[in-house]
Amino acid sequence: MSEGSQPASQSESKLVQFQNSVNTFLYDEQNPFAQTFAAVEKYSNGKVKRAHVFWGFCAFVGLYLLFGYGAALLANLVGFLYPAYKSCKALETEDKADDTLWLTYWVVFAFFGVMEYFTDLLLWWIPFYFFLKCIFLVWCFVPWEGYNGSMLIYNNIIKKLISKYEAEIDKGLKEASALAKDAAKHGMGMAKEFVSDPSTMQKAFEYGSKVSEVVNEESKKDS
């Protein structure tokens, strides 16, 4: 095979994988999203194919992300609804591969959300940002073997960062856990002391009564 034809074949392979993913999605009878497109096809007596409805819906979402109101919410819904549904389905199967795929997606989704928060002011200036964000999220959850966005980002960026700072992260988590346990133990001790001391309870009730009296007096003045 010549060098010039190799990139073309790789692009063709990506398109085939993408088409297969779309077909799997559209003809999954257990998928409520696919059932919606199938219902439209059935209602039209097969005159309108579910694939045409799907691509029309994608075009509508794309145009709305470019020019519509509430594009931020729509982009987040696209990145949440279908992955959340597939994650719930993955939890019910014995296969661990789909668990790994969707867990990786949520790690990338959370990582992207944190990065987006700190760069929010810059991102708002990017033309058609939410349209691009939607495409990015779809790339992250579409199950293309070898081209899945979440797998690529995790393996090439997040995994390397975690490996580099793993010891410091584990040490910080242990210290935070120890501090939380000490604070909880100290708080429980103070609570027990407060409840077991009658004089403390009496002072608390007296203070509450005084506050109630002041509030009542002020309400009478206002009326």
Average pLDDT on 94-110 reads 89
Per-residue pLDDT, 145: 72
- Domains identified in the chain, total number: 2
Q: Are residues 107 and 136 in the same domain?
A: yes
Q: Are residues 86 and 178 in the same domain?
A: no
Last residue of a domain, one of 149, 166, 183: 166
Q: What is the pLDDT of residues 150-206, one digit of tens each?
A: 999 999 988 888 888 878 888 888 888 888 877 777 767 666 666 666 666 566 666
Q: Are residues 156 and 191 in the same domain?
A: no
Q: Are residues 133 and 197 in the same domain?
A: no
Task: Find the helix or strand (DSSP H, E) in which 60 lies.
Answer: helix 50-67
Q: Are residues 107 and 193 in the same domain?
A: no
Range(s) of the domain holding residue 188: 167-222
Binned at pLDDT 50, 70 and 90, residue 127 comes out as: confident
Q: Are residues 140 and 188 in the same domain?
A: no
Binned at pLDDT 50, 70 and 90, residue 44 comes out as: confident
Q: Are residues 95 and 177 in the same domain?
A: no
Per-residue pLDDT, 28: 72
Q: Are residues 156 and 70 in the same domain?
A: yes
Q: Are residues 24 and 49 in the same domain?
A: yes
Q: Are residues 102 and 175 in the same domain?
A: no
Q: Are residues 128 and 183 in the same domain?
A: no
Binned at pLDDT 50, 70 and 90, residue 14 comes out as: low
pTM: 0.65
Closest to 25 (Cα-Cα) out of 108, 105, 85: 85
Q: What is the pLDDT of residues 146-156, one digit of tens each?
A: 778 899 999 99
d(CA 87, CA 54): 22
d(CA 127, CA 28): 36
Residue 19 token pair: 């088409």
Q: Are residues 72 and 176 in the same domain?
A: no
Last residue of a domain, one of 144, 166, 188: 166
